[in-house]
Amino acid sequence: MTADSLFYACPLPGCRAGVTDDPAVPCGDCLKAFGPYLQPSGTPAPRRSPEDTARLLAERDATVRAVYRAREARWMSDRAASALGTEDA
Ligand SMILES: [Zn+2]
């Protein structure tokens, strides 16, 4: 759950679907799409509150989000330079 959402996000990277109660459980669409490919790790997951799980997932994804933001900024900069005809040769 984030400040801009009332729901926990699906824990699978790249999925933006909301799940309502447990951020450790993938959303129904992911469960349907990946079916038996989603397997428990074999070791019992430690019991965490939904808030702690959401925090850990956010920390897991922070680096990837930062890279996406940097790439988007670079892409926007390159497009602006291209439109102005000032890109490097
Ligand atoms: Zn999902």
- What would the 3-class secondary structure string for 23-69 be? CCCCCHHHHHHHHHHCCCCCCCCCCCCHHHHHHHHHHHHHHHHHHHH
User: Which pLDDT does position 74 carry in this prediction?
Assistant: 96
* pLDDT(18) > 60: yes
d(CA 89, ligand 1 centre) in Å: 42
d(CA 71, ligand 1 centre) in Å: 24
- Residues 88 and 75: their CA atoms lie apart, in Å, by 14
d(CA 37, ligand 1 centre) in Å: 13
Which pLDDT band holds residue 78 (cuts at 50, 70, 90)?
Answer: very high
pTM: 0.60
d(CA 17, ligand 1 centre) in Å: 5
d(CA 80, ligand 1 centre) in Å: 34
- Residues 37 and 71: their CA atoms lie apart, in Å, by 30
Write out the two tokens for 54: 């959401």
